[in-house]
Structure 1
Amino acid sequence: MTKFFQAFLTGIFFTFIFDYFIFLGIKLNYIDFYKIDLYYNILFADHQNIYIYALTSALIGFVYTYINNIKISIIVIGFLSVASLSTLIPIVGNNLGEILLMKKNVTYKDSKYTYRGDAYYEGRKKITFYDYELKKTILLNKKDLIK
């Protein structure tokens, strides 16, 4: 039971560090690039997938604790470290942010206007939106939009 508990905590610890750097890269290279007013904590909390986090924690904890081959442990943890740190490279962080957060060529309507463009970020209350006709970034209130 103690070894299982150690694997569980080790997996959670390493996965948290990897997630921190992934979301830091998205924040620095996507959110700040498009000048979206958003704190890191909100980005991390709103886009954390608990199922992927649990699966990755279990995998890392298992590899680190139960596999007695140190080379395999170093390869797995080293690969995940390099992958998570690679989001600090501007093009990688920006592309990952686009994949995860951007919705291209969408249409939103409110009581007066129709907006066509790219949704850079859909937050809790507002959508940061690039309008093709206006050729600029605007903020849309989610409560004002017609579904």
Structure 2
Amino acid sequence: MSKIFQALLSGLFFTFILDFFIILGVKMNYIDVHHIDVYYNILFADHQNIFIFLFFTIIIGYLIMYTSTKTALISIGVMFVLSFSTLIPPIGKLVAQNLLMQKNVTIRTNQFSYHGDVYYNGRQNITFYDYKLKKVIILNKNKVIGEY
């Protein structure tokens, strides 16, 4: 029982570190580049998927506790290289676009209709690039009627 608990704790620890660097790459290479006003903690908390996190926790915990040291080091090393690769600007931007961006969206408010890309859909605001205006605008979620 204690070996299972150790595997779970080690998996949680290493998965948390991997997840931290993925979100850090997203923040540095997408959020900061587009001047989106969001703190790292909110970004980290809002974009967690518990099922993916638990899956990697179990896999990494199993690798650490139940496989040979060489296999564990190689596997976890590859995961760390992939996680750290989001710190490289083109890779971080691509990951962030797949995670956060919605392309070719129409958003309606009471007064206007906007057509463009959603850069970030936050808790209270939507950071939106409008094709017609050719600039980034911030829309209050309370005033948005719908997205299409």
Letter in 2 for 1:124: R
Task: String of CA shifts for 1:16-53, please: whole Å, max 9, x gaps.
Answer: 00000000000000000111001000000000100000
TM-score by length of structure 2 reads 0.97
Task: String of CA shifts for 1:48-103, please: whole Å, max 9, x gaps.
Answer: 10000000000000010011x22210111001000000000000001100010000
What pairs with 1:10-89 in structure 2 (closer than 5 Å)?
Answer: 10-67=10-67, 69-89=68-88
Task: Tell me how far apart the structure 2 counterparts of residues 44 and 134 of structure 1 sit (CA, whole Å).
Answer: 31
Q: Which residue of structure 2 lines up, in the alignment, with residue 112 of structure 1?
A: 111
TM-score by length of structure 1 reads 0.98
Task: Tell me how far apart the structure 2 counterparts of residues 75 and 140 of structure 1 sit (CA, whole Å).
Answer: 46
> Following TM superposition, by how much is the alpha carbon of 1:146 offset from its aligned partner in structure 2, in angstroms?
0.9
Task: Tell me how far apart the structure 2 counterparts of residues 26 and 93 of structure 1 sit (CA, whole Å).
Answer: 5
Letter in 2 for 1:105: N
Task: Tell me how far apart the structure 2 counterparts of residues 39 and 146 of structure 1 sit (CA, whole Å).
Answer: 26
Identity of aligned residues (%): 55
Cα RMSD for the two superposed structures: 0.5
Runs of 4+ aligned structure 1 residues displaced above 3 Å come to: none
Query: SS of the residue aligned with 1:3?
Result: helix
Query: SS of the residue aligned with 1:146?
Result: strand
Task: Tell me how far apart the structure 2 counterparts of residues 118 and 47 of structure 1 sit (CA, whole Å).
Answer: 19
Task: Tell me how far apart the structure 2 counterparts of residues 91 and 142 of structure 1 sit (CA, whole Å).
Answer: 30
Task: Tell me how far apart the structure 1 counterparts of residues 98 and 33 of structure 2 sit (CA, whole Å).
Answer: 15
Gaps of 5+ in 2: none
